[in-house]
Structures are given as structure tokens and as C-alpha cells.
Amino acid sequence: MEKIGILTGGGDCPGLNSVIRAIVRKALQNDYEILGIKNGWKGMIEEDIIKLDLDAVSGILHRGGTILHTSRTNPYKKEEDVKKVVANFKKLGLKALIPIGGEDTLGVAAKLYRDFKLPVVGVPKTIDNDISGTDFTFGFDTAVNIAMDCIDRLHTTAESHNRVMVVEVMGRHAGWIALYSGLAGGADAILIPEKPIDKDEVAALIKKRHSRGKSFSVVVVAEGAKMKKGSDIIQSEELDSFGHVKLGGIGQILAKAIENTTGYETRVAVLGHIQRGGSPTAYDRVLGTRYGIKAIELVMENKFGCVVALQGNNIVAIPIEEVLGKIKTVDDAMYNIASTFFG
Ligand code: F6P
């Protein structure tokens, strides 16, 4: 029986289990054995492996997170770790490896394919929806719905107290979650990494709204949003193993700036990892399942060095290097729709 490895790397994401389940179910029907690598690339370095049979993937479709666990381990940080990954791939007798992850996890897969011809088929994953080459990643829809629900709840308390409520959502390089949840939740301003923040403009929007009789406002801000150049804002500079800054804090900074500039009482809610937890939506379960099926089909066809992607309503395969080094940011057309409702 030929063996195929799968791993989940980077931040977890609702829908990961649907991908794992789809791969295992389809593989077993075609007489392949699936090995689950625990904790992302860490499991490939440490040879931390479990066998995934029918029982292992039973009852996981509706569960958030990943049954394989995850980490942000980058084997390319240490030369010996890359060697261990390649050696363990051979030792386990794998036909192929399916890494499910974002830019970082897929970046490692692309390098392993380039440097060692390791047969990989990637599955793009992130709640941020910022992977280029694919229209939507699973997990995004769930995160947007969670954030929208929170915005609805914050709306009523903001209204009761005549306050400005700043809601900080995830979105490191791209403002998709902020934009979609803000649009769906009726936000009065949406601030995203693609559009540096001018606090006076935000204050003017809020004042305009209040001048037409409204006594409260809801502002949605993506965690990766930055103040315009020349601002005295200080943000965390702590880095993870891929060299990314650990974000968080813009909501607080913005709330203070709004309160000082407008004089309106302002509160902040940071949604954080709540957006990544819990049950995936139907959309994400179906999308994850479609990605999983396509990934295993590609392996069976010996098509490697690619990533599955959603383009229109089709799941296609694109070369892995096409998804790397560029981020799919919010386009002006979408932002202009949202900004119609600002202020
Ligand atoms: O990559 C998805 C994401 O949720 C980003 O939106 C966020 O910046 C980051 O992960 C948070 O990472 P961690 O779980 O390591 O704090």
C-alpha cells in the first residue's frame, strides 16, 4: 500500500478537519494509507506520526481546530531540520506529502519541492483569505460570521450607552475579515492594512454621523492596520519563527485616539482567537472537503509541486510558487462598496 503524509501548519482554522477527513476517506477508497504528521513541520522533524484510518476521521467534520494539531515551526531555520524532514520522508516511505497551511507552511513545501524534488501538493488555509491565486480559503467564512455576530452584539450595547465601540478583528496583511464582517455588521467605519489610518478622518466620520442624530458608532479595525506615516503610535515588535510581528493593540490605540479627538466615550473589544475557534460554517466544510478531494486526486495522478485553489466555482491546481511572495489584498472595488456606508 502506498503511503501519503498530511500535516496542518500555521494558525489553525475552522474547516481543517473537513480537509483531513476528505483526504483520508478518498485515499482509503483507493487503497492508499494516510499518515498524519503531528504539529505541522515539527512532526516531520521529530517523526511524530499517527496512522489515519476511518475511525480517526469519524465525527470530526463539525469540529473546529485540527485533529493533527499545528505549530509555526519553520524547518528552514536550521539546516539540520530540513535534512531531518527529507530523511523522515524517505524513512516513512511516503509517496507524497500534503501540507495544509498558509503562506509560511506552503513556502516551506515549495522550497522542499524546489531543493529536493519532494512530491508535495499544498492546500491553502487561512481565516485571513489573503492567499493569492485562490478566491476563498476555508475558515474565512466562519471567521466573518463569528465577527459579524460579535459586531451585532456590540452594536446593541454601544447604542444603549451612547458610545463608540471599536472592534478589532484579525487580518495581518489584508483586511478581508474586517471588510466582510464590517459590511455585514453595518460598521460606520472599517480600517484595514491596505489603507493607513488617519485618525482625524475617522473622527470626522464619527462626528458627521453623530451630527445627524446618531448617538453611537461602531468602528471595525483589522489588527494589521497601521496609522498613517508620521504618527507616534508604537506597536509590538516581538517576532515569531517566520519573522512576523506578533500583532495586537491597534484597537486600543485607535479607541484612545477617537475618544481624545471626538470627546465621545469609546470602548474597545478585541475578538482575537475567538474568530478561529469552534464549528466551521457549511460553506467552509464544503470548501475544505472539495480542496481535500482535489488534493488527493492530484497525488493519485502524480501531479506535484502544486496547490489546490478555488477559481470561480471550480477547484483547480496551480503551481505552488504562484501562491508565494504575494498577498491577495482588498481591492478598491470592494472597499468602495463598504465605504458607501461610512459615517
Ligand atoms: O494567520 C491567521 C492569523 O489568525 C492572523 O490573522 C493572525 O495575525 C495570526 O494568525 C495570529 O497568530 P497566533 O495564533 O500565532 O497568535
Ligand 1 shell residues, CB under 6 Å? 11, 102, 126-128, 170-172, 223, 247, 276
Mean pLDDT along residues 74-82: 97
Q: Whose CA is nearest to atom 14 of ligand 1?
A: 11
The answer, yes or no, to whether residue 143 has pLDDT greater than 90, is: yes
Q: Please state the φ and ψ torsions of residue 165, each to the nearest 5 degrees.
A: -115, 120
The Cα 146–Cα 139 span in angstroms is: 11
Mean pLDDT along residues 311-329: 95
Q: Whose CA is nearest to atom 1 of ligand 1?
A: 11
Q: Is 128 among the residues known to form the active site? A: yes
Q: Please report the atom of ligand 1 found closest to the CA of residue 240.
A: 15
Q: What is the pLDDT of residues 156-170, one digit of tens each?
A: 999 999 999 999 999
Q: Are the beta carbons of 169 and 127 closer than 8 angstroms?
A: no
Q: Whose CA is nearest to atom 8 of ligand 1?
A: 172
Q: Whose CA is nearest to atom 12 of ligand 1?
A: 11
Mean pLDDT along residues 316-333: 95
Q: Which pLDDT score, from 0 to 100, does residue 233 have?
A: 58
Q: Which pLDDT score, from 0 to 100, does residue 248 have?
A: 65
Pocket test of ligand 1: the residue of 181, 247, 250, 270 to mutate, having most ligand atoms within 8 Å of its CB, is 247
* CA 91–ligand 1 middle distance (angstroms): 33
Mean pLDDT along residues 182-205: 97
Q: Please report the atom of ligand 1 found closest to the CA of residue 275.
A: 4
Q: Please report the atom of ligand 1 found closest to the CA of residue 102.
A: 1
The answer, yes or no, to whether residue 298 has pLDDT greater than 70, is: yes
Mean pLDDT of all residues in the chain?
95
Q: Which pLDDT score, from 0 to 100, does residue 212 have?
A: 95
Q: Please state the φ and ψ torsions of residue 16, each to the nearest 5 degrees.
A: -60, -40
The Cα 28–Cα 30 span in angstroms is: 5
Mean pLDDT along residues 312-320: 98
Q: Please report the atom of ligand 1 found closest to the CA of residue 223.
A: 8
The answer, yes or no, to whether residue 337 has pLDDT greater than 90, is: yes
* CA 247–ligand 1 middle distance (angstroms): 8
Taking Cα atoms as reference points, which of 9, 314, 269 lies closest to residue 152? Answer: 269
3-state secondary structure 38-64: CCCHHHHHHCCEEEECCHHHCCCCCCC
User: Which distant-in-sequence residues (6+ apart) come within 8 Å of 170 by Cβ?
Assistant: 127, 128, 143, 177, 222, 223, 271, 272, 275, 276
Q: What is the pLDDT of residues 230-266, one digit of tens each?
A: 776 555 666 766 777 767 699 999 999 999 999 999 9
Q: Which pLDDT score, from 0 to 100, does residue 318 have?
A: 98
Q: Which pLDDT score, from 0 to 100, does residue 207 have?
A: 97
Mean pLDDT along residues 70-76: 97
Q: Are the beta carbons of 91 and 27 closer than 8 angstroms?
A: no
* CA 262–ligand 1 middle distance (angstroms): 32
* CA 136–ligand 1 middle distance (angstroms): 17
Q: Which pLDDT score, from 0 to 100, does residue 235 have?
A: 55
Q: Are the beta carbons of 257 and 199 closer than 8 angstroms?
A: yes
What the block records as the C-alpha cell of 239 is 517576532
* CA 183–ligand 1 middle distance (angstroms): 22
The answer, yes or no, to whether residue 185 has pLDDT greater than 70, is: yes
* Structural domains of the chain sorted by starting position, each given as residue range(s) with its CATH number in brackets: 3-139+280-323 (3.40.50.450), 143-277 (3.40.50.460)
What percent of the chain clears pLDDT 70, i.e. is strictly above it? 97
Q: Which pLDDT score, from 0 to 100, does residue 247 have?
A: 72
The Cα 282–Cα 299 span in angstroms is: 26
The answer, yes or no, to whether residue 173 has pLDDT greater than 70, is: yes
Q: Whose CA is nearest to atom 11 of ligand 1?
A: 11
* CA 244–ligand 1 middle distance (angstroms): 10
User: Which distant-in-sequence residues (6+ apart) come within 8 Å of 216 by Cβ?
Assistant: 158, 159, 161, 162, 163, 164, 165
Banded pLDDT at 319 (limits 50, 70, 90)? very high
Mean pLDDT along residues 46-60: 98
Query: Which residue is catalytic, options 128, 130, 141, 284?
Result: 128
Query: Regarding beta strands 189-191 and 217-222, do their DSSP bridges make them parallel or antiparallel, or are they unpaired?
Result: parallel
Q: Are the beta carbons of 223 and 250 closer than 8 angstroms?
A: yes
